[in-house]
Chain A
Amino acid sequence: MDRLKEALVTALTTAVTRLPDDVIAALSRARDSEDSPIARQELETILKNTALARDAGLPICQDTGTPTFFVAAGADSPHLGIITPAITRAVAEATERIPLRPNTVDPFTGDNPGNNLGQGIPLIDWEVVPGDAVKIAILPKGGGSENACALRLLRPSAGIAGVKRAVVEHIAAVKGLPCPPTIVGVGIGGGADAALRLGKRALLRRVGEPHPEARVAALERELTTLLNETGIGPMGLGGRATVLAVHVEYAMRHPASLPVGIVIQCWADRRAVVLLRSDGRIEVEG
């Protein structure tokens, strides 16, 4: 458990201080695509900040997010019992050591325990998968981008065109609030809660890594193009780069409903993964 906790603290440190290479590459491409001097300057500042944070080991953004963990738990892993306590201890220690900003607040009293723990926190999303390994993905996601998420419950007759309209309208409505260029996770179907969960899980992919199904990948490309034609641009100040990518996940739906979860991640798409093998070996992927 101590080794897993340490690996999780390391992974959290990596996540909040080092932006993954795929995100930096996407931001550089976005900068090169901009004609507007304001848009270019915003992306220059973002890239400068990212390099500075990496070199100095400082959190990229002061909003180190709500601690959120996606656990793909191998059904045959012998280590399932230590996952939750290791994550909980890692969050409290990381808050102290990295440090993370204490971001958990009691919704009734406004009290902040100061260690990023509390009722229902850290958020752990469990999925049981075949095999004996456990994969823990970490997604530090700030409040600004979380506030810009949405659930739309469409009439089934709206179809996939309705999904496109809903996503474009929503991104146009939130404009600069979630710190564009963003990565947009779209969850289609499954039910109201499932659609949002699918949308958030879609953010675990590398930026722009297409969905394995051709029809879904085509929708991702089309939505990316449409959103980058809205003119919202970096930080909502106008320009081409409104999104770096759109990732879509889906589940079957009820015949009477077409839920669409729209989950937005800011440009600071911080991620890390800890892999726990059945023999106890641990790997941290930045």
Chain B
Amino acid sequence: MRTIALPDDLDAVATLRAGDRFYLTGRVFTARDAAHRLLLARHEHGGPLPFVPSRMGLYHCGPLVRRDAAGWHVLSAGPTTSMRMEPDEPRFLAAFRPRIVIGKGGMGPGTAAALARIGGVYAHFTGGAGALAARSIDRVEGVFFLEELGMAEAVWILHVTRFGPLLVTIDPAGGNLYRGVEEENAARMKKIMQRIEKEAR
């Protein structure tokens, strides 16, 4: 399976297509609901960010971390439900241009359109696979807004090696695996409902 290295392969991300699987090596930053709003507020007031989001992956994740004498360690770090960030994500992607968004559960049309504009992908990582994700995180390179936002909502800068397997579910050319599932589900729902009606009579 292919490995995408960031930032070296930033431009190659646009060639990924829905259904492709890959591993990611490089830096990711975590951001959930509160971090999206905080970073956007900074951007809109012209404040610089303390890291360069465009050269990293954006990871929808609230990690479980522990600090000891040697520093921070990630114990468990699976993806959180991405759809919560849908209202902010299009503006966020336009502002910060991370080319790979990693999460679970899929995202809406606003994010799909924003990804098409920046040549980015939404990559699914298995929800709940927190221990597996932690194993590919080599080190915590920094943390921002920990005081204000707490462990789960803070922005963590993580260096990962062969993080995954990741599955491209939304690509910049309009490919979207969730649409296929939705169509299949809509067709099956009619039959399921008919069966329930029939048995009720």
Binds A, one of B9-17, B108-116, B183-191: B183-191
Query: Is B76 a contact partner of A61 (Cβ separation < 8 A)?
Result: yes
Query: Is B134 a contact partner of A101 (Cβ separation < 8 A)?
Result: no
* Number of interface residues, chain A, beta carbon within 8 A: 55
Which residues on B sit within 8 Å (CB–CB) of A142? 128
Query: Is A46 a contact partner of B126 (Cβ separation < 8 A)?
Result: yes
Query: Is A49 a contact partner of B129 (Cβ separation < 8 A)?
Result: yes
Which residues on A sit within 8 Å (CB–CB) of B195? 226
Partner of B127, one of A56, A110, A266: A266
CB within 8 Å of A: which of B58-111?
61-64, 66, 75-78, 80-81, 83, 104-106
Closest to A161 in B: B200
Rounded to whole angstroms, the CA-CA distance of A165 and B150 in the bound complex is: 41
The answer to whether residues A237 and B124 also contact, given A99-B66, A101-B152, A231-B181 and a CB cut-off of 8 A, is yes
Partner of B130, one of A59, A159, A238: A59
The answer to whether residues A53 and B180 also contact, given A99-B64, A235-B105 and a CB cut-off of 8 A, is no
Looking at chain A's contact residues, the main secondary structure is loop
Closest to B134 in A: A58
Rounded to whole angstroms, the CA-CA distance of A275 and B2 in the bound complex is: 50
Binds B, one of A7-15, A37-45, A189-197: A37-45
Partner of B131, one of A59, A99, A168: A59
Query: Is A45 a contact partner of B165 (Cβ separation < 8 A)?
Result: yes
Using A233-B181, A235-B126 as known contacts, list a sample of 19 further A-B pairs with CB atoms less than 8 Å apart, ordered by residue number in A. A38-B167, A46-B129, A53-B130, A58-B130, A60-B128, A62-B78, A63-B128, A112-B150, A114-B150, A147-B81, A168-B192, A168-B193, A172-B185, A229-B191, A230-B185, A237-B169, A238-B181, A266-B127, A268-B128
